[in-house]
Amino acid sequence: MRARAGAPPAEWRVSEGLIGYEDAVAWMEARAAAIASGEARECVWLLEHPPIYTAGSSAKEADLLEARFPVYRAGRGGQFTYHGPGQRVAYVMLDLTRRQRDARAFVCALESWIIATLSDFGVKGERRDARVGVWVARPDKPRGLAGETAEDKIAAIGVRLRQWVSFHGVALNVAPDLTHFSGIAPCGVRETHLGVTSLEDLGVRADMRAVDAALRSNFERIFGPSTEVQSPARNDHR
């Protein structure tokens, strides 16, 4: 999924504080349009949101169990998910025309990116054919009704393509409040042996800067070089 030879490096942006969801989406959509028209470079934007729920194109109303936080209808694929402090959101704006016009291969590459990042912290992340995202086996938790090994989701993936430019992206649970997920059936998952986890929940003490460094090094290995630039403006709690 690397860009063809001679393509400029993707911009790498990291925002401090909490960025309002609507502001982030507006910036991201404008940037994706500029990439498609050849007016801007590809971009990866790392940030955190205040506590919110977002509903993807496949979201079912029954999966919103309790609207504990503001709910936004997102243009990405997928179902309901949670964003909040302690979760590293990575919005990925890449031009697949310069890479590979294959949506499935792109999602697989995003999963590989997160799996490689988790490995840097001694965590074995895994993909599941029937469940998008990255999962961690939890043999320490009760099995399912049919004896299935318990598993927890540690990273959600939801993307959209417009003119073969991607936007939205991935959300990696570093140290969020996991009780905040209780207002939704995350990604439509309701099986009792399937839950959510984080690096902190798994006993890994990693600050966000260390996670960002691992994300960047693994991004460059899978997608190609990046160059750090100033992040979009901070908009706390908006």
150 labelled binding-site residue:
no
76 labelled binding-site residue:
yes
* Rg, the chain, Cα only: 17
Measured between alpha carbons, how far is 53 from 131 in angstroms, rounded to an integer?
A: 19
Task: Tell me 120's DSSP state.
Answer: T
What would the DSSP string read from start to end of 44-69?
EEEEE--SEEEE-TT--GGGB----S
6 labelled binding-site residue:
no
Measured between alpha carbons, how far is 76 from 63 in angstroms, rounded to an integer?
A: 17
157 labelled binding-site residue:
yes
How far separated are the first and last CA of the chain, in Å rounded? 34
92 labelled binding-site residue:
no
171 labelled binding-site residue:
yes
What would the DSSP string read from start to end of 137-193?
E-TTS---TTSPPPEEEEEEEEEEEETTEEEEEEEEESS--GGGGGGB-GGG---TT
Nearest to 170 by CA among 93, 85, 238: 93
Q: Is 187 a catalytic residue?
A: yes
192 labelled binding-site residue:
no
Alpha-carbon distance values, 178 to 58, 87, 119, 183, 198 (Å): 23, 10, 21, 11, 8
87 labelled binding-site residue:
no
158 labelled binding-site residue:
yes
Q: Which two tokens mark 150?
A: 């318990």
169 labelled binding-site residue:
yes
Q: Which residue among the candidates 43, 187, 194, 199 is catalytic per the annotation?
A: 187
- Annotated binding site, which residues? 76-83, 156-158, 169-171
- Annotated binding site for substrate, which residues? 76-83, 156-158, 169-171
Q: Which residues are catalytic?
A: 187
